[in-house]
Amino acid sequence: MDNVDLNVLRQITQWVAAGHSVVLGTITRTWGSAPRPPGSAVAVRDDGLVAGSVSGGCIEDDLIDKAREGVLASGLPQVVRYGIDADAAHRFGLPCGGLIELVLEPVLPRTQLDVLLARLAAGERVRRVLTIATGEVLLQAATPDEAMSDELLLTDTSLTTHHGPHWRLLLIGAGQMTQYLAQMATALGYQVLVCDPREEYANSFEVPGATLLRGMPDDTVQALKPDGHTAIIALTHDPKLDDLALMEALTGPAFYVGAIGSRLNQAKRKERLKEHFGLSEAQLARLHGPVGLKNGARTPPEIAVSILAELTAVRYGYRVPEPVPVKAQVPVEAGCAV
């Protein structure tokens, strides 16, 4: 569940606290073109107000009718499908053969959204099991195998969803750019960790939702136990800190390892990692540097955008070719290029 859907759950709790009845919808299956993937959440209030979205508006209109007349009245979950045939697909603005399937459940005390949000705020990964026939909800700790999964399972009797952070981003250095990068990455649903043993940087770092670690970078990477859902980016410009983190990161399974610095500095860094730490050519080839998509970014927030754009591309299996400038570029000081 990403931060967009977490905001839907938070909105639901506010509506309920204000005395409204609410239906929570969870997308369980899509086929063809759909604006949101399975697991995404939408909420409909008793007066027709909607949080989240599943279409351009046609499906939401029908959900409002169902919330007012059906699901809220029965008090029990329902499975609804849109676009099973060509006529329905046309009616709801889906491509022919398109399908969106949702489970709609009235939000009642048994829904346990407050408990779920509290556990997510504590950084837990939670398995939520909804019994379709009764609306009862069971919250369980996700197993290690499930900790990095966003998969859901809808059967004839239950809906199982997984909640909590499953993409991790470790940033080495708590400087100005890290402030922007941590804020943006948190909004994208990453569990953000920032490592910096330097007091002059760590003492002034504060980004809601990000965790500050003051140990040495190599120890921090080892303790993190990176996996295929972990990204590690070195941002200090200090070889004593960046190289230690990269040495550990490049020998593990992290899906993305990057470092700030110009092409010249990247070449020098690779020589150091090869000579002093014995990294192989294959391991060094995994290093993204200069870090981020090459889009002319210069300011810290611009560079943060370029880094997260590249992270997103790598996550979804895309390689974005280096762009060709369409006009003369203002030279960037070599030591400050991304």
Please report, as a single letter, which amino acid is at residue 188.
L
Residue that has been written with the tokens 């997260």 in this structure: 308
Higher pLDDT, 117 or 61: 117
For 131, phi then psi, to 5°, come to -85, 115
Q: CB of 37 within 8 A of CB of 148?
A: no
Model pLDDT, residue 295 = 86
The distance from CA 9 to its chain's CA centroid, rounded to whole angstroms, is: 16
- Least confident span in 12-21, 57-66, 142-151, 177-186: 142-151
Tell me the average pLDDT across 218-244. Answer: 92
Q: Which of 120-124, 148-152, 226-230 has the highest mean pLDDT?
A: 226-230
Q: Name the fold adopted by 167-325.
A: Rossmann fold (3.40.50)
pLDDT given for residue 180 in this prediction: 96
Distance CA 266, CA 280 (A): 15
Question: In sequence order, what DSSP letters do the residues of 93-122 get, joined into one string?
Answer: TPPTT-EEEEEEEE--GGG-HHHHHHHHHT
Q: Are 104 and 78 in contact (CB under 8 A)?
A: yes
**What pLDDT, in 10s, does the model give residues 243-275?**
999 999 999 999 999 999 999 999 999 999 999
| Nearest C-alpha neighbor of 9 from the set 122, 113, 165 | 113
* Residue-level pLDDT at 96: 47
List strand residue ranges (DSSP E) for the chain, in order.
22-31, 41-45, 50-51, 78-82, 99-106, 126-131, 137-141, 153-154, 158-163, 167-172, 190-195, 211-213, 230-234, 256-259, 287-288
Find where tokens 């009616």 sit.
91
What are the domain boundaries of the chain?
A: 3-163, 167-325
pLDDT digit string (tens) for 131-188? 999 999 999 988 766 555 567 889 999 999 988 767 899 999 999 999 999 999 988 8
| 256: Cα separation from own chain's centroid | 14
Higher pLDDT, 85 or 217: 217
Neighbour order of strands in the sheet with 41-45? 50-51, 41-45, 22-31, 99-106, 78-82
Residue 147: predicted pLDDT: 52
Structure tokens at 277: 């730490």
Task: Supply the pLDDT for residue 301.
Answer: 94
* Under 8 Å between Cβ of 257 and 231: yes
Q: 75-84, 237-246, 305-314: lowest mean pLDDT where?
A: 75-84
Q: What is the pLDDT of residue 81?
A: 86
The answer on pLDDT for 97 being more than 70 is no
